[in-house]
Amino acid sequence: MGQNGELRKRIQDEAHVRIVDRGAKVVVIGEEKQARRAEWVLREMLEVVRKGHTPSTDEIDYALRESRASVGESASTKPEEYTPLSGFMGSTAAAIRKDIHIHPRTHGQKGYLDALHENELVLAIGPAGTGKTYLAMAAAVSALLSKRVQRIILTRPAVEAGEHLGFLPGDLVEKVNPYLRPLYDALYSMVDLERVQRYIETQRIEVAPLAFMRGRTLDNAFVILDEAQNTTREQMLMFLTRLGQGSQAVVTGDITQVDLPRNVPSGLREAERILDGVEGVSIVHLERRDIVRNPLVQRIIEAYDEHREGGAPERPAVPRILEPEHEPHEGTA
Distances in whole angstroms, Cα of residue 299 to Cα of each of 58, 74, 236, 254:
14, 28, 32, 17
- Of the candidates 82, 37, 87, 81, the residue with the CA atom closest to the CA atom of residue 63: 37
- Averaged over 106-116, what is the pLDDT? 89
Determine whether domain 93-310 maps to CATH 3.40.50.300.
Answer: yes
pLDDT band per the 50, 70, 90 thresholds, residue 196: confident
Mean pLDDT of 173-197: 77
| Inter-residue contact 116 to 251 (CB < 8 Å) | no
Task: Report H helices in the chain.
Answer: 4-15, 32-50, 57-70, 107-118, 132-145, 172-188, 193-201, 233-240, 267-274, 295-310
pLDDT at 43: 81
More confident residue, 295 or 28: 28
120 Cβ partners below 8 Å, 6+ apart? 243, 247, 248, 249, 280, 281
In this structure, the strands spanning 94-97 and 100-102 are antiparallel
Whole-number Å distance between alpha carbons of 295 and 136: 22
Q: How far apart are alpha carbons 111 and 104 in whole angstroms?
A: 9
Q: In this model, does residue 265 exceed pLDDT 90?
A: yes
Domain ranges of the chain: 4-86, 93-310
Q: How far is CA 153 from the centre of its chain?
A: 17
pLDDT single digits (tens) 94-105: 444 444 556 777
Mean pLDDT, rounded, for 11-25 = 80
pLDDT tens digits, residue range 274-294? 999 999 999 999 988 888 766
pLDDT in tens, 198-207: 988 999 999 8
Q: Is the per-residue pLDDT at 75 higher than 80?
A: no
Q: Which of 42-51, 62-71, 213-222, 243-252 has the lowest mean pLDDT?
A: 62-71
